[in-house]
Structure 1
Amino acid sequence: MTWWFKARRGHLLLPLAVVLFAVGLYVVQSNTVLLPSLTGSPRIALSLFVPIPLLALLMAALESRLPAAEVSGVRSMTRLDNTLVTAVLAAAVLCSVLVAAVQGSAQATTGGRNAMFLTGLMLLGRAWGGQAAVMIPVGWLVTVVLIGFRGNLPYFWTVIALPPDSVSAAAASLVAFIVGLAAQIRSSRKTA
């Protein structure tokens, strides 16, 4: 297991990912920006963009592998990869809760929820597109900014733009994450 973790560069990439995520959430706080949109003039929370470095480093860790050795090996790496992803996301959710407690604002908790949703999308795309799937969360963010608002109110399908107390956004994030982990099972034994 130690070799697996070192092959994934987990000791370097994952602590950096979690630190960047926590610092990003703390720095942006509850700040919003006005971005161009096709369907309104929404004020977008900067915290929507904080999970992107976390996802990029997570994908780099997952793709830092020796595919031929893993496919020919007796032991499947799927369980270990899913445990790695779950641990990183648990750390991200914990960081978002801690930052929200320090700031006294619930807005930071959306960072962990959004990271779960976007990770699920990324892992689902990774099953078919490989490393290029790291761009799926970025595409989702651009789509939400461009057509995800009616005036200044987000549509229900955006998930990541919904308020921190949205139960449907939390449920959709959890479902997307679980589906992404299931898709990870399919993609982890491929060599290409």
Structure 2
Amino acid sequence: MQPAQGRDLVIWWMKARQIVTVLLPSLAAFTVLVTLGHNAVFTLPGLLSLGGRPVFLTQAMPLIITAGLAHVLSQGLPEAEVLATRKIRHFDLALTVSTVAAAGTVGIAVGAISGSQEATATCRNVLFLTGAMLTARAVRPQAATLGPVSWVFVVILLGYRDFNRPWPWAVTLHPPDYLPTSILSLLVFVCGLFGQTRTRPHV
């Protein structure tokens, strides 16, 4: 069999990665949840502080994107041979960047229309958690999905020093206009992309 080329390779890649059946529905679900539930909030008792603290459901919404990406990037591409691995790596990088850009655009758009800081913050949080997922995947592929989930739950339970005041390390709890956190999130995402380039694509 000759190495898959051109359009055939793209079609095989899209089918094998389950982009239409998994990733696009994940983006759609993220869009619906951010649009309808960006101000949904519940109160949890503080583990490290007195009293309860508000937890917005948007804290968990980026996990839809990270889980979808982790899944599709782990799917095999048996039609592609070793000579196509470099192209597959480029496709996967483009897929990651475009998915994060699409999710970030949704968060910013919903935030601008509704005036919700929580919706706007999903852009930064998707950036940070995707970078964390890709970094964990480069170290241990089985940890790709678990890494961001663990972070979100640790931050929800331990991220506040007192009512509505997050610790400096609790990145995803910070306001979206806090520049140091945004820069850190971008750096984590870039590190994740570098880790993705060091991870052999599933072919």
CA distance in 2, matches of 1:12, 1:63: 14
Q: Which moved more, 1:123-132 or 1:61-70?
A: 61-70
State the shift of 1:11 in Å. Answer: 1.9
- Residue in structure 2 matched with residue 188 of structure 1 by the alignment: 200
Query: What is the aligned length?
Result: 190
Aligned to 2:83: 73
Contact 2:41/2:57 (<8 A) preserved: yes
Work out which of the residue numbers 149, 158, 182 in structure 2 matches 1:170. 182
Deviating more after overlay: 148-157 vs 116-125? 148-157
> How far apart are 1:75 and its partner, in Å?
4.0
| Deviation, structure 1 residue 42 | 2.3
CA contact (8 A) 1:55 1:134 kept: yes
1:123–1:181: 8 Å Cα contact kept in structure 2? yes
Q: Would you say the 8 A contact 2:73–2:202 is kept in 1?
A: no
Q: Which amino acid aligns with 2:33?
A: G
- Match of 1:80, as an amino acid? F
The residue number in structure 1 matching 2:108 is: 97
1:37 to 2:46 alignment: yes
1:103-142, Cα deviation, whole Å (9 max, x unpaired) = 1323211111101100000000001211432011110011
5+ residue gaps in structure 1?
Answer: none
TM-aligned CA distance change 1:17 to 1:132, over 3 Å: same
Give the equivalent residue in structure 2 for 1:134: 145
CA distance in 2, matches of 1:81, 1:184: 9
Instruction: State the one-letter code of the partner of 1:132.
Output: A
CA contact (8 A) 1:20 1:54 kept: no
Letter aligned with residue 172 of structure 1: L
Question: What does residue range 17-166 of structure 1 map to in structure 2 within 5 Å?
Answer: 17-40=26-49, 41-66=52-77, 69=80, 72-76=82-86, 77-152=88-163, 153-166=165-178
Long gaps (5+) in structure 2 = 1-9
**Greater Cα offset, 4-13 or 113-122:** 4-13
The Cα offsets for residues 85-114 of structure 1, whole Å up to 9 and x where unpaired, read as 000000001111121123132321111110
Q: Which structure has the larger Rg over C-alpha atoms?
A: 2
